[in-house]
Amino acid sequence: MTATQGWLALVILSGGSTLIAWWGGTGVLVALAILTLAWAKAQIVLNVYLGLSEAPGWSRGFALVLGLFMLGAMGLAVAAGAV
Amino acid sequence: MKYQTQKIALIYFAVALALFAVQVTMGLILGWIYVSPNFLSEILPFNIGRMLHTNSLVVWLLVGFFGAAYYLIPEEAEREIHSPLLAYLQLGILVLGTAGVVVTYLFNLFDGNFLLGNEGREFIEQPRWVKAGIVIAALIFLYNVSLTVLKGRKTAISNILLLGLWLLALLFLFAFYNPANLALDKQYWWFIVHLWVEATWELVMASILAFLMLKLTGVDREVVEKWLYVIAALALFSGILGTGHHYYWIGMPSYWQWIGSIFSTLEIAPFFAMMAFAFVMVWKGRRDHPNKAALLWSLGCAVTAFFGAGVWGFLHTLHGVNYYTHGTQITAAHGHLAFYGAYVMLNLAMFTYAMPVLRGRDPYNQVLNMAAFWLMTAGMAFMTFTLTFAGTIQTHMQRVEGVDFMSVQDQLWIFYVMRFGSGVAVVLGAYILIYALAFPRREVVKPGPVQSHKSAETPAE
Amino acid sequence: MSDDTDPETGFYALPGDLMMWILIISELIVFGAGLMAFMAVRLTDPQGFTAAQGHLDATAAGINTIVLVTSGWLAALAQRAGAAGQVARVRLLLASAAALGALFLWIKMQEYAAKSAIGIDFETHPFFTFYYLLTGFHALHVVAGIVILALVGWKATPRNLEVGTAFWHMVDLVWVLLFPIIYLLR
C-alpha cells in the first residue's frame, strides 16, 4: 500500500465512523463497529505511515499488542453496554 | 589506576563510609524506639533521630556519587581531573556543612536565626549557611568535572553522568524557596528529593552501572552505550511526570492522580531495563574479572533496585491503593528496599570495584565483602517483608476499620521486633563491609588453583 | 540479544532511529493506559459519561481526524521525497503538513473555548478529567510535532526526515484511537 492509498483508506474509514456518529445509533454493536474502524485505521498508520510493513517481525508485534488493546476496549465497551 | 587524580575518590569514599556507619547505627536506634517508644525520648527525640538517619543517608550517597565521578571521569575523559585542590576543597565544605547540621540539630542552636537556625522543613532543615555551602560545593564539583570532560574524551557514560549531576544540583535550588503556605512549601519540597530519586539519580545510577559493566564484563562500549541511552530516556520519560503520584496528596488538582498513576507505573521500565542490561552484559561478557565481589554488588544492585524501587513502588503507586496506604509502613518498606537496592548498593558496588585499585590491593576476591553482601541484603529483604506485612495490617485496621493510630501501633509491635532483628543483621553486615573495604591489605582466603590461574591470565583493571 | 548486532533483525530492522521508537512505544503505552482507564471508569457511570459526552462536538473532531490523517499523508510523502533527494519538495510538503497541524490546534482551541464558555473544566465530571487530560496531552504532542517537522525540514537529511515524521505519525496513531473512544462511543 502506498502512502496515498493509505491516506484514502484512512479518509474513508474516518468518514465511516463519522457517519455512524451522525446517524446517532447507540448500543453494543455500534460501539463494536466504531472500534473495529479505529483498529483498521491504527493498522494502516502503523504499517503504511510508520513503515512497519518493511519490518515484518515488528509489524506482527505491534499488531498483537494493538489487537490486545482493541479487544480490551471492546470488552469494556460491551460491559458498559450491559451495565 | 591509570590517572593519579583518581586517588581523590579514596577520601570521598572514606567520608561516605563513615557517614554510612552513622546512618545505619542511627537506624538501629530508631528500630529500637519502635519497639520501646520511650527509649532516649529525652535526649534524642524520634524526629531528630529520623532526620539524622535519612539525611546522613542522602549525604553519604551524594558524597559517594561525587567520589565515583572523580574515579571514573579521568578514565572516561582520558585525562587527569582539572583541579585536585578544588576537589578536596569541595569535600572540606561538605564535611564542615554536615558537621554544622548535626550540631545545630542535636542541640537546636540558633533557633529562629535567619542564617544559622534550622529551617524546620523535613529533609531540607539545613540552616541557610549550610545550604549556601552545598551550592558552592556543587558548583565547584560541576566546574571541576565538566571542565575535565570538556577538555577530554566525551563518552555516553560521562555525558549521562554529568546530565544527572547537573540536574540534581539545579533541583536543589528549590530548597531556598520557602513559601509560608504549607501546601506550596510541600510542593516545592517534593521537587528536590523526589525528582532526585525518580529521575536524576537514575541517570547517575545508569551511568555508573554502565561503567562497572564495561570494566567487569569487557563488553563493547558501543553496546553498553546503546543500553545506557535507552535506560536514560526511559528514566526521564517516566520519572519526571511519575513524581506526580504524590501531588494530589499535597494539595494539587485531582487530575494528578491519573497522570501520576500512569507515569509512575512506567517507572518500573528503567529499573527493569537496568536489570536486563546487567545480566545481558554478564552473559555476553568476554572478560572474567577477578573482582567477583564488585560483580556481585552490581548484579545485586540491579535486581534489588528492580524489586525495591520498581515492584514495591508499583505496589502502592496507583491512586486507588495509595488512598489507603499513604504514609503507612508500606511506604517504609518501599523506602528501605528502594534506597538500599538502587543507591546504597550502587555506591557499594563502585566502592568494591574501586577501593582495591585505589589501595593497591589484589587479587581482591573479597570473601568478607561478599559475606557482608549476603548478610545486608538478606537482612534488608527480611525487613522489607516485615514492614510490608505490618503496613498491610496497619492499612486495614487504621484506614479501613478506622481504629486509632496508637492502638494499631500496639498491634504491630511483633513486626517491629522482627524488623529490629533484621536491622541488626543489616548493621552487622555494614560494619563487616566497611572493615572489609577499608582495612585488610590482603585477601583473607587463599585462592584455589583455578582462580589463581585465571587471575594470572587476566590482569586486573 | 545476539540478534542485536545483525543489521536486518532486532532493533536494526525498525525504520528510523531506535530512540524515536523507544519514545513512540512509551507514548503509546501512556495513551493506551489512559484510554483503558477512561473506559474502565466509564463502567462506574455509563449514563453520566454519555450525558457528558453530549457536550462534545463530534463533527468538529471528525473534521480534525481528516485534517490530521491528511497531514500525516503529506509528511509521509515528504519522507519519501527526502529519500529521493528533492529538498524543495520536502520543505513544501512539510510546511503543508505543519499548517494542517496548526489547523488541527485551531479547531481544538475552538472546542476548548466552547467548553470553557459553558463552565466545563477538569473537575466537572470524571469524563471531562479524562477528556482534558487525553486530548490536551495529545494537543501538546501536536505542538511538539510541528516544531519537530520544522526542525527536520530545516536539516532535511533522509535520516532526520524518517525520525521526525515517525513522531508525527505517532501523533496520528494516537488520535485515530483516541477520537472514537472519547467522542463516539456511547
Give the pLDDT confidence score for residue B363 in this predicted structure: 58
What distance in Å separates residue C76's CA from the closest CA in chain A? 6
Each residue's pLDDT tens digit, B35-46: 999 999 888 989
Q: Which residue of B has its CA nearest to C121?
A: B255
Each residue's pLDDT tens digit, C73-98: 999 999 999 988 899 999 999 999 99
Give the pLDDT confidence score for residue B458 in this predicted structure: 55
Mean predicted confidence (pLDDT) in B339-350: 97
Residue C138: its chain B contacts at CB < 8 A?
A: none
Confidence class for position B459, pLDDT limits 50, 70, 90: low
Q: What angle do CA C69, C70, C71 make, to 5 degrees?
A: 90
So where are chain B's domains?
Answer: 1-153, 313-443
* Cβ separation A80–C39 shorter than 8 A: yes
Average pLDDT along chain B: 92
Residue B262: its chain C contacts at CB < 8 A?
A: 30, 33-34, 37
**C12: pLDDT strictly greater than 80:** no
Mean predicted confidence (pLDDT) in B183-209: 92
3-state secondary structure chain B: CCCHHHHHHHHHHHHHHHHHHHHHHHHHHHHHHHHCCCCCCCCCCHHHHHHHHHHHHHHHHHHHHHHHHHHHHHHHHCCCCCCHHHHHHHHHHHHHHHHHHHHHHHHCCCCCCCCCCCCCCCCCCCCHHHHHHHHHHHHHHHHHHHHHHHHCCCCHHHHHHHHHHHHHHHHHHHHHCCCCCHHHHHHHHHHHHHHHHHHHHHHHHHHHHHHHHHHHHCCCHHHHHHHHHHHHHHHHHHHHHHHHHHHHHHCCCCCHHHHHHHHHHHCHHHHHHHHHHHHHHHHHCCCCCCCHHHHHHHHHHHHHHHHHHHHHHHHCCCHHHHHHHCCCHHHHHHHHHHHHHHHHHHHHHHHHHHHHHHCCCCCCCCHHHHHHHHHHHHHHHHHHHHHHHHHHHHHHHHHHCCCCHHHHHHHCHHHHHHHHHHHHHHHHHHHHHHHHHHCCCCCCCCCCHHHHHHHHHCCCC
Each residue's pLDDT tens digit, B288-326: 888 889 999 999 999 999 999 999 999 999 999 999 999
3-state secondary structure chain C: CHHHHCCCCHHHHCCCCHHHHHHHHHHHHHHHHHHHHHHHHHCCCHHHHHHHHCCCCHHHHHHHHHHHHHHHHHHHHHHHHHHCCCHHHHHHHHHHHHHHHHHHHHHHHHHHHHHHHCCCCCCCCHHHHHHHHHHHHHHHHHHHHHHHHHHHHHCCCHHHHHHHHHHHHHHHHHHHHHHHHHHHCC
* Cβ separation C19–B265 shorter than 8 A: no
Give the pLDDT confidence score for residue C37 in this predicted structure: 96
Each residue's pLDDT tens digit, B10-35: 999 999 999 999 999 999 999 999 99
Do chain B and C touch: 3 or more Cβ pairs under 8 angstroms? yes
Give the pLDDT confidence score for residue A32 in this predicted structure: 93
What distance in Å separates residue C74's CA from the closest CA in chain B? 29
What distance in Å separates residue B331's CA from the closest CA in chain C? 25
Give the pLDDT confidence score for residue C1 in this predicted structure: 36
Residues 55-114 of C with CB under 8 A from B: none
**C6: pLDDT strictly greater than 60:** no
**A65: pLDDT strictly greater than 80:** yes
* Cβ separation A50–C73 shorter than 8 A: no
- Among the partner-chain residues B229, B255, B269, the one whose CB lies closest to the CB of C129 is B255
Residues 275-294 of B with CB under 8 A from C: 280, 284
Give the pLDDT confidence score for residue C151 in this predicted structure: 96
Q: Which residue of A has its CA nearest to C164?
A: A50
Question: Pick from B459, B292, B361: which is nearest to B10 by CA?
Answer: B361
Question: Pick from B374, B386, B375: which is nearest to B425 by CA?
Answer: B375
Give the architecture-level CATH label for domain C17-184. Up-down Bundle (1.20)
Choose the mutation target among C21, C29, C163 for the interface with B, i.e. most B CBs under 10 Å.
C29
- Among the partner-chain residues C2, C22, C133, the one whose CB lies closest to the CB of B234 is C22
Confidence class for position C3, pLDDT limits 50, 70, 90: very low
Confidence class for position A83, pLDDT limits 50, 70, 90: low
By a Cβ cutoff of 8 Å, what residues of chain C touch chain A?
A: 9, 13-16, 24, 32, 35-36, 39-40, 42-43, 46, 49, 58-59, 62, 65-66, 69-70, 72-73, 75-77, 80, 162, 165-166, 169-170, 172-173, 176-177, 179-181, 183-186
* Cβ separation C76–A31 shorter than 8 A: no
Quickly tell me which residue has 520557602 as its cell: B178
Confidence class for position A81, pLDDT limits 50, 70, 90: confident
* Cβ separation B233–C34 shorter than 8 A: no
**B142: pLDDT strictly greater than 50:** yes
d(CA C142, CA C177): 15
d(CA C73, CA A8): 9
d(CA A65, CA A50): 16
- Among the partner-chain residues A3, A49, A80, the one whose CB lies closest to the CB of C172 is A49
Give the pLDDT confidence score for residue B2 in this predicted structure: 87
Residue C66: its chain A contacts at CB < 8 A?
A: 11, 14-15
Each residue's pLDDT tens digit, B418-436: 999 999 999 999 999 999 9
- Among the partner-chain residues B226, B234, B258, the one whose CB lies closest to the CB of C129 is B258
Residue A49: its chain C contacts at CB < 8 A?
A: 72-73, 75-76, 165, 169, 172-173
Q: Which residue of B has its CA nearest to C133?
A: B255
Give the pLDDT confidence score for residue B455 in this predicted structure: 61
Determine if the pTM surpasses 0.90: yes
* Cβ separation B253–C123 shorter than 8 A: yes
Chains contacting A with at least 3 CB pairs below 8 Å?
C
Give the pLDDT confidence score for residue B236 in this predicted structure: 95
